[in-house]
Amino acid sequence: MYLIYLTKRLVMLFLVVVTAATLNFFIPRLSDKSPVLEKITEMSESSAPGSVNMQELLVIFNERFGLDKPLLQQYFDYLGDMLTLDLNYSITSYPTRVADMILAALPWTLGLMVTSTLIAFLVGSVLGALTVWRKDLKLLQFFVPVVMVFSAIPFYLIGLILIYFVAYRGGYFPIGGGYSLTAFPAWDWEFASDVLYHSILPGTSIVIASIGIWALGMRGMMVTVQGEDYMNFAEAKGLKSRRVFLRYAVRNAVLPQVTQLALFMGQLVTGAILVEIVFGYPGMGSLLLQAVDYLDYYTIYGIVFVLILAVAVSMLILDLIYPLLDPRTRHHRA
Amino acid sequence: MLAIKDLCVDFPVMTGIVHAVADVDISIGSGKRVGFVGESGSGKTTTALAVMRMIKKPGEVSKGQILLGETDILALSSEEMRQTRLRRISYIPQGAMNSLNPVMRIEQQIWDGIVDHEGAVSRSELKRRSDEAIEGVGLPARVARMFPHELSGGMKQRACIAIATALKPELIIADEPTSALDVITQRQVMETLENAQEAIGSALILIGHDMGLMAQCVDELMVMKDGRIVERGAIRDIFKYPEHPYTRQLIASVPSIGGESFLPNVSATTANGQKQGDAPLLEFDGVSKVYGGGFFSKKGNTALYPVSFALDGSRPMIISIVGQSGSGKSTMGSLMLGFNRATTGVVRFEGRDMAIMKRHEVKGLRRHIQAVFQDPYGAFNPYYRVERALSLPLRRFGIAQGAAEIRERCAEACLGVGLDPARIIGRFPHELSGGQRQRLMVARALMLSPKLLVADEPVSMVDASLRASILKNLYDLKDKHGISIVYITHDLATAYHVSDFVIVLHEGHVAEAGAPKEVIGDPQHPYTRLLINSIPWPDVDRQWGTSASAREETARLMKDARDHPPVDRSAVPGFVLARAS
């Protein structure tokens, strides 16, 4: 029974990935810009006039990147590449491979975004739950309108405010970058602390901007759960308040939040773009923006494909762990 | 053991203070069973909540004293009160269907009560005690390992009893423990509750509105109305010499099988042109329904085995479909309404196959077949005022034009079911009582002057006192408007009085069918007998069921019922039930 379910789920995953990858292939092709022309124009500007034969180079490059083949042929080549995880060469930064560029950028984004999203999720959910549970704490009641305001401000704006006041005027944190120019990337404490130091401002701006979403969502669910009959029975059972809060109220209220979290995780990189640009952070967001700017097909394909995989896999993980959280969604053993 | 003195509970509202409970004096001896009876809003639940100190703000106990043994409940600190709950008084709240935490196993919900009152207990000891508690309410120990959604309504209610009795309290308060259950399950659950209570020697407060249940279960009765106790005494005395008119009304509102009908005995008039053509009004031709069952999943669930009947409709009739929950009766109703498609067979309305109707025909069908549902709380859009809810069908079917005419028709409809339009029409559904809403649902169905009305448990969620008047409304529809009604219920006593023909469904099969005087008055099929034996009689001298043990009797009759062939009683003109081969 479970195997059948898992097989169905995996086939579904495959279909979703192929469909999304197809869209990913055709949408950049709608632009009339040519990535090769952009590349050559840039090359000719940086070399002596007349030394580059534009026409000849265009043909060579198109051939090299397979852009001279019919579109359908290119599409099938692309699908094959993606499914074997061979992400090809970058057009703009030839001869760097796209996979290498992604591998260099991904840890930065994941480290920053995953950590700050998890912090926002945890803190937001706890605060949201407490505002409902502890009506006696006046400070918490004051907290709700404040986070509502913050969740309405886009996080790049919060980032800019932080940069201006905390980094530029205050001088407490670096203005941007992933690590100091003088630091030497290595697996040691010195470099790690430098990276951490640089990630505090961008991380904080993400936490401030998204904490409200989690807090408000949790608050709404807590209000709903409080009206449930099992809360009444829990009180009648004379359970300790702490247990009623954690095992009855929060445990049930957090379920939709977890779904939300999985959806969020899939969109991390998209969310990262603006933050990374504002803070000059060397992650996937900056990389994607650059690639779109030059219409570097293969880099766009590679990054978006990784995103598609991330969304699909995080939904799969959610589907697999959700039954553990909510027994009602468990499949009955035959 | 429990003494309540001059208890007053006040709820401040916009217009002043509502005394939900006023000057209530109660004293309950150890091991006694006491019933609190009254309609919703009479203060019976509020009194119980005061004993639990669980009255929700802004309500508060404004006066009085509650003594549990030597303990002054109202003087306890909140931590002391917490320790008192479950250990000394346990409360089984209304709506046991949702009283269990959906994400915890049953045994975990027994354990947390033990641990929070007795401190750390070893795992094996906890397991032993939870298994004992579960077996003590007549469930197999494996139920302890299950989650609430895996249990039926009756099993959930028993699990709640297991939780409530696990610490052997001095007092158990059960708030309408069987209101959502069918009669067979109700009898078993009540037996379980009584056995558990006797085993631990605690007192029991049973809150309810069913005088029959009270007659069978309690020693003493408190009749409450508007926050006051209007009559009290030993159950036998109250049934013999009811003094307060309200008590008399409560006792009279329980329909009994045989004897005087609570409905006027008017013979049905001929239909006033409701039926057209020669084809029967409603016809089932070998209709069955299977739920689920796809390519990957296992065999589907058969809710209804092939059944064929024809309701002629030239003379209006009330057809009752009775059975336990899960017997397929609601499935039959939704097939009639066209909400569900038959898996096999054909449902015909006035000779036309409902499955192949076109869009505009379906719209016409909606006008001719109307429904009244079980839950008066869920049937109205909470954002629409009554006026809008009532005028919508009028507009949709173009029955009335212009604001004045629509208003007039709505007012007429309200008057028709005994509601004052001036007080009702501008209100939102949540401002009305359950009974008012249920009547509005009847009014809305009636406005379209349908030919057939499907009423699915129309009175199971309203107080006993309202039950009779709503059924009277339905009965009038047949006589005054010539509408045929399909009445789906688990209440055989009302079916006995209102219907012209009764179909007893058992696990999707017709067990017995015929005129109510025969089927219910003199049942032949073991399943029908079981249903009738399970009804709690409002008569203290009559034993509940024919055997002392409900469980044993149910098991025996259920076993007989499974192999017993269907019983056809004498035919009733206007309705033909054919046996599907």
Do the chains contact at B116 and A237, CB–CB below 8 Å? yes
Per-residue tokens: A213: 């979403």
Closest Cβ–Cβ partner in B93, B112, B149 for A236: B93
Q: First-to-last CA distance in chain A?
A: 6
Closest Cβ–Cβ partner in B92, B101, B113 for A230: B101
Per-residue tokens: B32: 């006694």
Closest-approach residue (CA) in chain A for B115: A239
Give dist(CA B137, CA B165) in Å, integer. 9
> Is the predicted pLDDT of residue B253 greater than 50, yes or no?
yes
Give dist(CA B13, CA B88) in Å, integer. 33
What percent of chain B has a predicted confidence (pLDDT) above 70?
94
pLDDT on residue B579:
59
The amino acid at B516? P
Closest Cβ–Cβ partner in B85, B86, B93 for A229: B93
Of the candidates A2, A101, A20, the residue with the CA atom closest to the CA atom of residue A310: A20
pLDDT on residue B261:
60
**Contacts with A, B 30-89, CB within 8 Å:** 52, 54, 81-87
Give dist(CA B42, CA B244) in Å, integer. 15
pLDDT on residue A334:
33
pLDDT on residue B293:
63
Whole-model pTM: value is 0.83
Residues of chain B in contact with residue A237, where contact means CB-CB under 8 angstroms, are 85-86, 90, 112-113, 116, 163
CATH of domain A105-297: 1.10.3720.10
Of B415 and B299, more confident: B415
Of B366 and B47, more confident: B47
Do the chains contact at B90 and A237, CB–CB below 8 Å? yes
What is the DSSP track for A88-157?
A: -B-STTTTSBHHHHHHHHHHHHHHHHHHHHHHHHHHHHHHHHHHHH-TT-HHHHHHHHHHHHHHHS-HHH
3-state secondary structure of B33: strand
Strands B203-208 and B220-225: unpaired
Do the chains contact at A236 and B160, CB–CB below 8 Å? no
Residues of chain B in contact with residue A241, where contact means CB-CB under 8 angstroms, are 82
Q: pLDDT-based confidence at B262, cuts 50/70/90?
A: low
Of B419 and B49, more confident: B49
Condensed to tens digits (0 to 9), the pLDDT of residues A67-119 reads 778 888 889 888 888 888 887 788 777 778 888 888 888 888 888 888 999 99
pLDDT on residue B264:
55
Q: Does A2 touch chain B (CB under 8 A)?
A: no
Closest Cβ–Cβ partner in A4, A237, A241 for B86: A237
Residues of chain A in contact with residue B94, where contact means CB-CB under 8 angstroms, are 229
pLDDT averaged per 10 residues in sequence order, chain A, 334 residues: 82 91 87 76 70 74 80 88 82 81 87 91 93 86 81 84 87 81 77 87 89 91 91 94 95 93 80 84 86 85 87 86 85 47
Order across the sheet with B89-92: list the strands. Answer: B89-92, B171-175, B203-208, B33-37, B220-225, B228-234
**Where do the DSSP E strands lie in B435-536?**
452-456, 484-489, 501-506, 509-514
Q: Does A247 touch chain B (CB under 8 A)?
A: yes
pLDDT on residue B259:
62
Integer angstrom CA distances of residue B125 from A238, B121, B132, B349: 20, 7, 10, 62
Of A129-138, B393-402, B530-539, the least confident: B393-402
Q: pLDDT-based confidence at B465, cuts 50/70/90?
A: low
Domains and CATH numbers, chain B: 2-95+169-252 (3.40.50.300)
CA distance B56 to chain A (A): 10
Condensed to tens digits (0 to 9), the pLDDT of residues B308-351 reads 999 888 888 899 999 888 888 888 998 998 888 888 999 998 88
Condensed to tens digits (0 to 9), the pLDDT of residues B545-579 reads 777 788 888 888 888 888 888 888 877 888 888 75
Give dist(CA A289, CA A206) in Å, integer. 19
The amino acid at B469? S
pLDDT on residue B295:
53
Beta bridge partners of B307: B287
The amino acid at B54? M
CA distance A77 to chain B (A): 35
In the block, tokens 């307060």 appear at B244
pLDDT on residue B443:
86
Report CA torsion sign: B160, B165, B167, B172: positive
Closest-approach residue (CA) in chain A for B296: A4
> Stretch B186-206: mean pLDDT, rounded?
92
Three-point CA angle A7, A11, A17, nearest 5°: 145
DSSP 8-state symbol, B85? B
> Residue B87: phi, psi to the nearest 5?
-75, -40
Of the candidates A133, A318, A326, A155, the residue with the CA atom closest to the CA atom of residue A215: A133
Do the chains contact at B86 and A328, CB–CB below 8 Å? no
Beta bridge partners of B513: B503, B568
Q: Does A227 touch chain B (CB under 8 A)?
A: no
What is the DSSP track for A220-278?
A: HHHHHHHTSHHHHHHHHTT--HHHIIIIIIIHHHTHHHHHHHHHHHHTHHHHHHHHHHH
pLDDT on residue A49:
64
pLDDT on residue B273:
46
Q: Does A19 touch chain B (CB under 8 A)?
A: no
pLDDT, chain B, mean: 86
Q: Where are the domains of chain A?
A: 105-297
